[in-house]
Amino acid sequence: MALAIGAASAASALGLPLVAIDPGHGGADSGAVGSLPPGTVTGLTPRADAAGNPLIFEKDVNLDVGQRLNAILQANGVPTLMTRNTDSAGGDVPYVSEGADLKARTDLANAQAAQLFVSIHQNSASSALGTGTETYVFTGTGPASRALALAIQQSVIARLLLTDRGVREANFYVLRNSAMPAVLVEGAFLSNPTDALAVASPDVRQAMAEGIGTGVLNYAGMLGAGVVQQPVPTKISLARSGGAVSRRAGINPSRGDLWVATVIDQSGIPMAGVPLTARLPNGKGVSVSTRGDGKALLAVPRRRGRLNVAVALPGIRVNARGDVPARIR
């Protein structure tokens, strides 16, 4: 059943955008592949290796989440288009090459004058330890795509409760060649046995779709029956933790402190997935992103001077400064 997040009757009055939903990979391109315990029931097309051990293909997860997202948005009055509806390449044609596949996806969205582009993927890494959710925008993109990515990242993290890897930049083809605000969501790592087993569950895939859908609706200005402003960072609250908290974080309080930077939006709500840059008193630069609770943690060595923290988003000038005490001898 589709989740009715908002009032569908208000769709035309609010001018909700046409959303291109792009389930990544398909056809001969399986995308990432994960291993599952014997007997795992996924509700997806059964996949197995040569020894009969169950596998999970990224292309299947992406299509399932995309179809669920499509139902959710349409239930809320949002017009949509799918770049593929079957196990095939973009445009529901046989897979020929990666270049042709990716071009078909953006060509379709651009030709239909879509106003938002949401590409759905799952991640993979050489190490099985990689885990979590991240959302990508095109390198150097403007504030519209970043605001959409932040809204989706925050909403998906709140539902999946996986590691928050933040909003990141990349030169992905579908982000570079879409003529509208575009994001690419990496829901979980299929190379991580725990993440892979999670997305094997239909309930988790539904939660992922609901998270993306809520983020899209929030960005579009509608959540429930009312209008909600898209979140924009307006303030950083910077605080130095006490000695006990620093010790629990593995920091010797005589040599350093744990500082907490909380990013707040225009409604006073903490924001997840916001990239920050920090300049420590020793001159070292650090890059972090806020977690699902809107907080970023910084291990700051004691050296009398200033800690400077700023939001690392184009066109947004929000920063905070804190006085760092000298080392205790």
CB 260 within 8 A of CB 42: no
Domain boundaries, the chain: 8-227, 233-324
**Distances in whole angstroms, Cα of residue 195 to Cα of each of 33, 49, 251:** 12, 19, 30
Measured distance CA(228)–CA(212) in Å, rounded = 16
Cite the active site residues.
186
Q: b/e for 42-78, b at 16 or more Cβ within 10 A?
A: bebeebeeeeeebbbbbbbbbbbbbbbbbbbbebbbb
* Burial class of residue 230, CB neighbours in 10 A (0-12, 13-18, 19+): middle
Instruction: Identify the pLDDT of residue 173.
Output: 96
Residue ranges of the chain whose pLDDT lies below 50? 1-13, 222-228
Give me the phi and psi of 60, to 5 degrees please.
-70, -40
Instruction: Identify the pLDDT of residue 314.
Output: 62
User: Domain 8-227 belongs to what architecture?
Assistant: 3-Layer(aba) Sandwich (3.40)
**Distances in whole angstroms, Cα of residue 126 to Cα of each of 34, 40, 130, 189, 195:** 12, 23, 8, 11, 14
- State the CB neighbour count (10 A cutoff) for residue 174: 25
**Helix (H), strand (E) counts: the chain:** 8, 18
Domain 233-324 falls in which CATH fold? Immunoglobulin-like (2.60.40)
Domains 8-227 and 233-324 share a fold: no
**Distances in whole angstroms, Cα of residue 248 to Cα of each of 177, 238, 272:** 46, 19, 23
CB 153 within 8 A of CB 273: yes
CB 1 within 8 A of CB 210: no
CB 275 within 8 A of CB 263: no
